[in-house]
Structure 1
Amino acid sequence: MAADSPTAPLSPSTLGPVAQRQQARLFRIYNQYRLVISLMLVGLLFVDPFTADTKFRWLEYYQAGVISYLAINAFIALTMLAGFQPRQRHITLSILLDILMMHGLLLASTGITNGLANLVIVSVAAGNILTPSRMGTFYAALAAICSLSISGWAALAINESADDIVRAGSLGILYFAAAFILQGISRRMIRSEALASSRAKSIVELEQINQQIIQRMRTGILVLDRFGQIRLANAAAEELLFGAAVDEAAPKHSPRLLPWPLKQGLTSWLKNPIMRIEPFQASSTSPLLQANFTQLDQERGDQILVFIEDMSKVTQQAQQMKLASLGRLTAGIAHEIRNPLGAISHAAQLMEESPNLDQGDRQMLEIIRRHSKRVNGIIENVLDLSRRRAANSELVDVRHWLAEFQSEFQQTQDNGTKANIELSTGADIPPARFDKSQIEQVMVNLCDNGLRYSKQQTGQNRIELIAGATADGKRAYVDVRDFGPGITADNRNSVFEPFYTTDKSGTGLGLYLARELCEANQAHLSLIENDEPGCRFRITFAHPGRMI
């Protein structure tokens, strides 16, 4: 915790990457200053030629020192121009060399009274800015000792005035004052920059977390302008609005446009912001959606935030609650229903063995047997709803799995007529994550229905299994197509409702159970509307990397 206190010393190791880059930039500026000063000192040698008089103690040493100082600074400038990044040790060595060189020039010239002594203050100040630590105090101490040593030597060896010692002491005070003041300022600047950098990093991390949360949300989120152009869309919005619509002919990188129902809803909402638009379907294969609009900027209203909810989940939850209650009721009375139902079925079987029955009686017994079987099927299906287990998902190669399912399902068709199950798969099908046993249960239901209706319509047990990828190429789908009479437009919205059936021998729960199992695996079962004969049901699987 000491490093966080205002008076805690800062070492080079405590500087962050940003502070280190700023330190390197300041050192470049300081080296440019030294290069200018050394050029001026060398220029003065030619502009005002010196003579060996009392002004300089050792003219030759002074001239050699000035030229050497220029050469050192020029070399450092060239190395930095070539891309050399100075480290802390290079900066420390340069400051020490600067102080010693300046005092050497003072010793070779007229002593501490020379104007070069003021340049030492600049060097000490630069050292404390570049190294705001104990090393900065060492720079001041070294400069003060050198100044006092030069003045003391001059007073003792060559009998110069002792006033130079007082001037050297004053310069030492200036050195330490500059060191302490600039160290405090530099510490505050570094801490402020570190705090700003830390807060900026926290903001970036929060933005990344928020982005991940938004992308992982199951609620679709869109940001639109007033003209309906999409500025931002999370993964759920892409999946709900565009993922289920498969158009192999559409370019995969074409700009996204709002579905027409949502576009109409936006237009209506802009005219009347308090109005709630009706639920809609983005396409024939997408679930029922509900959109809610709000303005991001209440004053300007340039951007509009849209929340898209999957209404089918709400409807399914309500239906599931009803069926769960019905399932518990059925579980309680199943024994009471099955006992008399079994007695009725057994009695009907015994009566069928009687030789005295005419054709009308046998037809009546067939009706009893058939409807007893139907009632028992309804009980079994409702019980399945109440005791359905959670999905045990795994990553599946859709092409390989579908080929295995085709082979195994075809072997189970032993009703005397060989089933013709055609298989068609695309080239690039992404993997899907689902529970094999549950999705295979859905496929068996769809295939059985398809074979039965194809047989009724064409006289052939024929269906087609089709696998491919959605338009974005990221999700797999499987179609089951039959060649039966199809479903009328009036009944298309009701085929997945519980207990709805057009078959007198059906229970009306098969497709509902199939959709429930798909939803448990985050897949979507839909009826494709097209001009092809028969029905085409599609299972669109979720993105394998976005399932939660």
Structure 2
Amino acid sequence: MPPLSASTFASTMDAPFVRLWRGFLTGRVMVALALLVLQGAGQAINQTTEPAVLAVCVAYLVAAVMLRVLGRHRPPSPKTGPQWLPSIGVDLAAIVALQLLNAGTMNYTPLFGLPILMAAVLGTLTLALGTTAGVTLLLLGWAWWLGSGTAGDDAPRYLQSALTGTGYFIVSYLVHQLATRLAREQELAQQSQVAARVQTQVSALVIQNLTDGVLVVDESDVVRIANPAGLQLLGGTSLPELPFILASAAPWNPLVILARRTFRQEQPQTADVDLLHPGQSPTGLHVRTWLTSTREAARQTQTERLCVMFLHDLREMEARLRTEKLAAMGRMSAAVAHEIRNPLAAIVQANALLEEDLHDPAHKRLAHMVQQNADRLARIAEEVLDIARVQHQISHAPASTLPLDETVSQIWNDWQAQDPVQRRAVVMLEAGNPQVEFDTEHLRRVLVNLLDNALRYVGQEPDSLTVTTRTLPSGQTSLQVWSDGAPMDKSVERHLFEPFFSSESRSSGLGLYICRELCQRHGASISYQRLTRTTLRGEVGGNAFTVGFRRTTRPADAATLFDTIVV
């Protein structure tokens, strides 16, 4: 790394630079005051009067005090220039004046060290060496002045001035190098401090947004740091405030034991534990622990040992594993469904030909059962293969728009006309017929799937099923299908939109998954909520599936580029 210049020091280390500047200003005031006191005391003792010397001392003191008061907030630029005249320039002028006016044996040469140190510490190397060169020339000039008025050998005086100047050059260079090094070290320390602060902020942000729980525990079982997920996994009726003692609640004892074992063995630990809260179901956790440092390392670095605990919800881990298994089964099922379609078609055709020659009612019933189950197998195979078809359509479908209320009304009428007695609902189209980005056939598939699902669990009241469109003041347009069915189990709700997941043995579990895929293709969202609606019977709770659309101002256009999947 190249040496850091004093200009960089001044620009990047403002606070230390200002402190040094103020220190030199205060030192100048003290030197000026000491000169005035000593001159006054010396003249009083010797009973001599040297008003010029006293005047110089007073003027130097006034100049030093004024600069200390007026210039304490704005240190000069470290580069060579006239900004140094009120400080270094005044110092040199005052010392030269005192040396010239001095009638006694007092030597003011050591005072030249003050401006030289100021230039070396606060200025550039050029300023430091320039000031030292000026002082050396003044010393040589003083030696010549003394020699011009006396007879004798002048060599000792010139040699003394040269040696003094050489010493000043050495001191000036070394002091400047030392100041530069200190400034560089200070700059690196500040950079390290900023980097550490940024790293701390990033680490805190990452920990706060981790879905897995994180606890940082010390050797006294005190939880120093905990992210929201970690506090949530600890359970209980209320979340504790940091810091808190992990051993304060009996359900957390398995975590306390694991943390103490980590400190004792100084090795990472892994375990599955159950937190048993009174009146609640057990919370299964997969816990991993790490130690920040060993006992010996902590003693050498004088730091504290901490145990970092990562908490994973076993239910979520099992759900992810189950999803991966279901996805693999889905791929295999699609391949199997493709292979069984041809023999299934042969079975259906052979059964139809056989049924034409049957006359016994019992035989006809058996043939009808074969036909029904073959149709069921065909539907399941088609639903499994629908995933690949939908993915193909999603990737090739162009962007299109449609009038929401008009399209929902048409889809509802077509669906309701298939069974007017059973398919009853309250339809409230209140969106104002905005244009939304969605394909008509894709919206038909989504809405029909939601209506078919709701019809399985809907009550017998006329308002048990509700289809609603609305536009919020923010401009968000939505379509909602609400039914007064029973609440869903949490285990079912968590996996509603996963492929091949269904709470019914006769369902393939693909309907809601396809709905989600179609919504994502068009920038829309689909979600489930348990909502309470006001009906003729009063406040009734029910299951609501809501599709939030991305609104557009483009004119509606038809999108018929792809084949329609028959619902």
TM class by smaller structure: 0.5 to 0.7
1:484 paired residue number: 485
**Contact 2:143/2:157 (CA < 8 Å) preserved in 1?**
yes
**Contact 1:457/1:485 (CA < 8 Å) preserved in 2?**
no
The question of 1:114 aligning with 2:106 is answered yes
Which of these residues, 325, 333, 336, is aligned with residue 329 of structure 1?
336
Instruction: Give TM-score scaled by structure 2 length.
Output: 0.64
Cα distance in 2 for partners of 1:61, 1:510 equals 105
Which of these residues, 171, 181, 185, is aligned with residue 178 of structure 1?
171
Deviation at 1:377? 2.8
**Contact 2:465/2:481 (CA < 8 Å) preserved in 1?**
no
Deviation at 1:511? 4.8
Deviation at 1:146? 0.6
2:19 paired residue number: 25
1:381 paired residue number: 383
> After superposition, what is the alpha-carbon deviation per residue over 1:246-270, rounded to whole angstroms, capped at 9, x for unaligned?
xxxx9xx996999xxxx88643343
The question of 1:292 aligning with 2:291 is answered no
> Which sections of structure 1, spanning at least 5 residues, go unmatched?
243-249, 394-400, 426-433, 470-475, 542-548
Q: 5 Å matches for 1:480-519?
A: 481-484=482-485, 498=500, 500=502, 502=504, 506-511=507-512
1:131 paired residue number: 123
Q: Partner amino acid for 1:73?
A: A
**Contact 1:424/1:465 (CA < 8 Å) preserved in 2?**
yes
Cα distance in 2 for partners of 1:92, 1:440 equals 83
Compare 521-530 and 33-42 and name the one that shifted more. Answer: 521-530
Deviation at 1:404? 7.8
Cα distance in 2 for partners of 1:507, 1:70 equals 97
- How has the CA–CA distance of structure 1 residues 239 and 232 changed in structure 2, closer, same or farther, with 3 Å as cutoff? closer
Deviation at 1:447? 3.8
**Contact 1:324/1:386 (CA < 8 Å) preserved in 2?**
no
Instruction: Give TM-score scaled by structure 1 length.
Output: 0.66
2:181 paired residue number: 188
Q: Partner amino acid for 1:458?
A: E
1:276 paired residue number: 272
Cα distance in 1 for partners of 2:20, 2:392 equals 64
1:144 paired residue number: 136
Compare 482-491 and 151-160 and name the one that shifted more. Answer: 482-491
1:153 paired residue number: 145
Cα distance in 1 for partners of 2:203, 2:392 equals 30
**Contact 2:21/2:75 (CA < 8 Å) preserved in 1?**
no
Q: 5 Å matches for 1:455-494?
A: 457-458=460-461, 460=463, 462-463=465-466, 481-484=482-485
**Contact 2:479/2:547 (CA < 8 Å) preserved in 1?**
yes
Which of these residues, 69, 79, 82, is aligned with residue 70 of structure 2?
79
SS for the counterpart of 2:15 is helix
**Contact 1:391/1:438 (CA < 8 Å) preserved in 2?**
no
- How has the CA–CA distance of structure 1 residues 228 and 123 changed in structure 2, closer, same or farther, with 3 Å as cutoff? closer
2:556 paired residue number: none
2:34 paired residue number: 40
Cα distance in 2 for partners of 1:481, 1:199 equals 58
Compare 40-49 and 293-302 and name the one that shifted more. Answer: 293-302
1:15 paired residue number: 9
Q: Partner amino acid for 1:445?
A: N
- How has the CA–CA distance of structure 1 residues 405 and 222 changed in structure 2, closer, same or farther, with 3 Å as cutoff? farther
Q: 5 Å matches for 1:286-435?
A: 290-294=285-289, 296=291, 304-308=308-312, 310-311=316-317, 312-337=319-344, 339-340=345-346, 343=349, 371-385=373-387, 389=391, 408-414=407-413, 415-416=416-417, 417=420, 419-421=425-427
2:450 paired residue number: 446
> Which sections of structure 2, spanning at least 5 residues, go unmatched?
262-269, 296-303, 396-400, 432-437, 534-538, 549-567
Deviation at 1:80? 3.5
CA RMSD of aligned residues (A): 5.7
Cα distance in 2 for partners of 1:165, 1:422 equals 109
Deviation at 1:124? 1.3
- How has the CA–CA distance of structure 1 residues 486 and 187 changed in structure 2, closer, same or farther, with 3 Å as cutoff? closer
SS for the counterpart of 2:186 is helix
SS for the counterpart of 1:88 is coil
1:472 paired residue number: none
Q: Partner amino acid for 1:87?
A: S
Deviation at 1:119? 1.2
Q: Partner amino acid for 1:41?
A: L
Cα distance in 1 for partners of 2:91, 2:150 equals 26
- How has the CA–CA distance of structure 1 residues 92 and 499 changed in structure 2, closer, same or farther, with 3 Å as cutoff? closer
Deviation at 1:535? 4.9
Deviation at 1:98? 1.8
Deviation at 1:419? 3.0
Q: Partner amino acid for 1:375?
A: L
Cα distance in 2 for partners of 1:207, 1:95 equals 45
SS for the counterpart of 1:536 is strand
SS for the counterpart of 2:327 is helix
Deviation at 1:97? 3.3
SS for the counterpart of 1:413 is helix
Q: Partner amino acid for 1:140?
A: T
- How has the CA–CA distance of structure 1 residues 343 and 95 changed in structure 2, closer, same or farther, with 3 Å as cutoff? farther
The number of aligned residues is 480
**Contact 2:428/2:468 (CA < 8 Å) preserved in 1?**
yes
> After superposition, what is the alpha-carbon deviation per residue over 1:222-247, rounded to whole angstroms, capped at 9, x for unaligned?
4468889683327xx389869xxxxx
Cα distance in 2 for partners of 1:423, 1:23 equals 72
Identity of matched residues, %:
18
